[in-house]
Chain A
Amino acid sequence: MRRKISLFLLWFFVWIGLSWPPALVDAIYAVAVSLFVSYMTLDLMFDTSAENKISRCGKGKAIARPFWFLWYVMVFVWECFKANIDVAYRVLHPALPIRPGTIKVKVDLKSDIGLAFLANSLTLTPGRTTVDIDKPSGYLYVHCLSIRDGETRLPVVTKYEKILKKIFE
């Protein structure tokens, strides 16, 4: 039930945002549309199989989660900005200083949503694109723009993982 309500509220506010400024007619439309859309997308948005459930936890931890998420967003924006400076430097340098390659990175995250967040934020940070996930054995395949010899563990992955673990596991 809680899932249905939160999904309904999400679509409701998206619709209100799209039809800004809010008026009574729009609110009525919003209720109708978001009821329908949340009915259609319920099983897409939430994977109800047991292994992917976000673990239940004590009240203190549950309250801390949104704050960790905010912290994660801040860390992410900063990394994203650095990434862009880095890529811009490589693009503009006349000698094109890149050493590309695809490497395997071990991750400890288990939940689908945690892995998805990690992979997507990696794609937006310093010279990296996640190519594939090997979920059973816990490896990410990451394409890097510039790698040093013998690098198998990216420091930025550890940084993200620590925060994501607090949010999703």
Chain B
Amino acid sequence: MNETIGTALIVIGLIFDFFGCLGLIRFPDVYNRLQASAKCITLGTCGILLGLFLFKGLTATGVKALLCMVFILLTAPVSAHALARSAYRSGVKPWEGTVVDEYSNDMENIR
């Protein structure tokens, strides 16, 4: 039973990881690419690790997989945020199809 659910989770995780990579290629600029990679790859990797935990149970490998999951959930959004902010600050222009851009005007006033 556990192994069936584990396999399903690993397959779902791989599919989401694939979508994340596809987004990285298809989306037009840095910020949109960050969206795809930060979200899909976080959930995909968490799915794979959770599947691994279900396979291994409470063994050395399984518990480490759980710890890695928490660690990825905590760090992935922070790094995405830091990349987006530094891209704006170093003058990377958003794609020309961008609808509104309120950050570029206010950027100087925020520290």
Contact = CB atoms under 8 A, between A and B. Distances in A.
Interface in B1-58: 16, 19, 22-23, 26-27, 29, 31-32, 34-36, 38-40, 42-43, 58
A129 B97 contact: no
B86 to A, nearest CB: 10
Interface string A82-95: 01100110111000
Interface in B55-78: 58-60, 62-64, 66-67, 73-74, 76-78
Interface residues of B, number: 49
B89 to A, nearest CB: 9
A88 B19 contact: yes
A84 B29 CA distance: 19
A130 B19 contact: no
Give chain A's interface secondary structure class. Answer: mixed
Contact of B35 (A81, A87, A120): A87
B110 A20 contact: no
Interface stretch (A48-56, A58-66, A101-109): A101-109
Contacts of B74: 120
A1 interface: no
B31 to A, nearest CB: 5
A121 B73 CA distance: 10
Contacts of A96: 26-27
Interface string A8-21: 00000010011011
Contacts of B103: 102, 104, 131-132, 141, 143
A113 interface: no
A83 B81 contact: no
Contacts of A14: 67
Given A21-B60, A87-B23, A132 B85 contact: yes
A17 B64 contact: yes
B94 A119 contact: no
Interface of B: 16, 19, 22-23, 26-27, 29, 31-32, 34-36, 38-40, 42-43, 58-60, 62-64, 66-67, 73-74, 76-78, 80-81, 84-85, 88, 94-95, 97-104, 106-107, 109-110
11 contacts: A20-B59, A80-B43, A91-B22, A91-B36, A104-B103, A124-B76, A127-B35, A129-B31, A129-B81, A131-B84, A131-B85
Interface of A: 14, 17-18, 20-21, 80-81, 83-84, 87-88, 90-92, 96, 98-104, 119-121, 123-125, 127-132, 134, 141, 143, 145, 147, 149
